[in-house]
């Protein structure tokens, strides 16, 4: 299986059994939309924890009610985060990430893949993407920008979104967070933006002829909205 061969630098696959169990539940076609949405939100929280684990920390002290100073830490960049809402599929992941990055500033990109505009080139399958709205805050050099997208199949949406984001400034870290990504999408993102860090719960091996991830979980947007 191609997913087993993913050993790229900066690709973080979250193998924690709890995350894997949640993924198994949302893969199941009988899982209802409200459970699907709630689990996506929880996975956003778990991805947020994993991202925070790789942020720099500094030593701080807290004075406890006992009048004693206890040594602790502060995560330096936790408050310098921008999360991009890629409408509509990323909303539950964003809600989960916001539980960790409470002070995150938010950007919005409404991106729709035109299902009847499938193309193929030497990198694989590609969709034309229609961007109908965007509002992205100015990016400072100390910022970590997170782009959540639950299902990264061909990477067409991400590759159309990143240039819009970096026009607003060059962040310290640019992170793409997914629930499922394909090896093809990892290769494309790494080829065009080598410094992008990827966080995902799983890497699924292939796409079907309509650009859906297999085995996947279907259309994440439809499944969490109950459409
Ligand atoms: N988007 C989805 O929601 N599911 C897929 O399988 C591919 C793209």
Cβ–ligand 1 contact at 153 (below 6 Å): yes
Cβ–ligand 1 contact at 213 (below 6 Å): yes
Q: Under DSSP, is residue 48 helix (H, G, I), strand (E, B) or coil?
A: helix
5 domain residue, yes or no = no
> Are 161 and 111 spatial neighbours (Cβ–Cβ below 8 Å)?
yes
pTM above 0.75, yes or no: yes
Is pLDDT at 1 greater than 80 in this prediction?
Answer: no
118 domain residue, yes or no = yes
6 domain residue, yes or no = no
Backbone angles phi, psi at 35, to 5 degrees: -70, -40
In sequence order, the β-bridge partners of residue 108 are 85, 135
Whether the CA torsion 110, 116, 119, 120 is positive or negative: it is positive
Q: How much distance in Å is there from the Cα of 222 to the middle of ligand 1?
A: 10
If you take atom 5 of ligand 1, which residue's CA is the nearest one? 212
Is pLDDT at 3 greater than 50 in this prediction?
Answer: no
What's the CA gap between 185 and 191, in Å, rounded?
10
Q: Report the percent of the chain where pLDDT is more than 90.
A: 92
Is pLDDT at 4 greater than 90 in this prediction?
Answer: no
Is pLDDT at 7 greater than 90 in this prediction?
Answer: no
Q: What is the pLDDT of residues 133-183, one digit of tens each?
A: 999 999 999 999 999 999 999 999 999 999 999 999 999 999 999 999 999
60 domain residue, yes or no = yes
> Are 99 and 78 spatial neighbours (Cβ–Cβ below 8 Å)?
no
Residue 6 pLDDT grade (very low, low, confident, very high; cuts 50, 70, 90) = low
Query: Smallest Cα–Cα separation from 150: which of 73, 47, 76, 57?
Result: 47
Q: How much distance in Å is there from the Cα of 152 to the middle of ligand 1?
A: 7
If you take atom 3 of ligand 1, which residue's CA is the nearest one? 219
Q: Where are the alpha helices (DSSP H) in 135-219?
A: 156-166, 183-192
Q: Report the percent of the chain where pLDDT is more than 70.
A: 96
Domain span including residue 136: 11-225
Split into its structural domains, the chain has a count of 1
Q: What is the pLDDT of residues 97-126, one digit of tens each?
A: 999 999 999 999 999 989 888 899 988 999
1 domain residue, yes or no = no
Residue 93 pLDDT grade (very low, low, confident, very high; cuts 50, 70, 90) = very high
Q: How much distance in Å is there from the Cα of 212 to the middle of ligand 1?
A: 5
Q: How much distance in Å is there from the Cα of 180 to the middle of ligand 1?
A: 9
Q: How much distance in Å is there from the Cα of 207 to the middle of ligand 1?
A: 9
How many angstroms separate the first and last alpha carbons of the chain? 32
If you take atom 7 of ligand 1, which residue's CA is the nearest one? 212
Higher-confidence residue of 217 and 118: namely: 217
Using CA atoms, how far residue 5 sits from 11, 13, 126, 185, in Å, is 12, 12, 22, 14
What's the CA gap between 21 and 216, in Å, rounded?
14
Q: What is the pLDDT of residues 8-31, one digit of tens each?
A: 679 999 999 999 999 999 999 999
108 domain residue, yes or no = yes
Buried b (16+ CB within 10 A) or exposed e, 106-117: ebbbebebeeee
46 domain residue, yes or no = yes
77 domain residue, yes or no = yes
Cβ–ligand 1 contact at 202 (below 6 Å): no
Check which CATH number belongs to the domain holding 160 and give it.
3.40.50.2020
Q: Where are the alpha helices (DSSP H) in the chain?
A: 17-27, 33-53, 91-100, 156-166, 183-192, 220-225
């Amino acid at each position: 299986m191609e997913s087993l061969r993913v050993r790229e630098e900066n690709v973080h696959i979250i193998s924690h059994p709890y995350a894997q169990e949640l993924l198994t539940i949302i893969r199941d076609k009988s899982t209802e939309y409200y459970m699907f949405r709630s689990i996506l939100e929880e996975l956003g929280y778990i991805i947020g924890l994993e991202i925070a684990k790789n942020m720099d920390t500094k030593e701080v002290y807290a004075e406890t009610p006992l009048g004693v100073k206890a040594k602790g830490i502060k995560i330096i960049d936790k408050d310098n985060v921008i999360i991009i809402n890629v409408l509509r599929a990323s909303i539950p992941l964003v809600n989960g990430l916001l539980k960790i990055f409470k002070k995150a500033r938010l950007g919005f990109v409404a991106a729709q893949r035109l299902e009847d505009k499938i193309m193929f080139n030497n990198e694989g399958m590609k969709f034309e993407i229609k961007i109908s709205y965007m509002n992205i805050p100015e990016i400072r050099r100390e910022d970590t920008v997170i782009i959540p997208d639950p299902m990264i199949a061909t990477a067409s949406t991400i590759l159309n979104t990143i240039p819009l984001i970096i026009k607003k400034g060059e962040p310290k870290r640019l992170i793409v967070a997914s629930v499922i990504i394909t090896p093809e999408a990892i290769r494309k993102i790494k080829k065009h933006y080598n410094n992008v860090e990827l966080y995902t719960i799983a890497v699924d091996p292939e796409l079907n002829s309509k650009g859906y991830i297999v085995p996947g979980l279907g259309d994440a947007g439809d499944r969490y909205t109950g459409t």
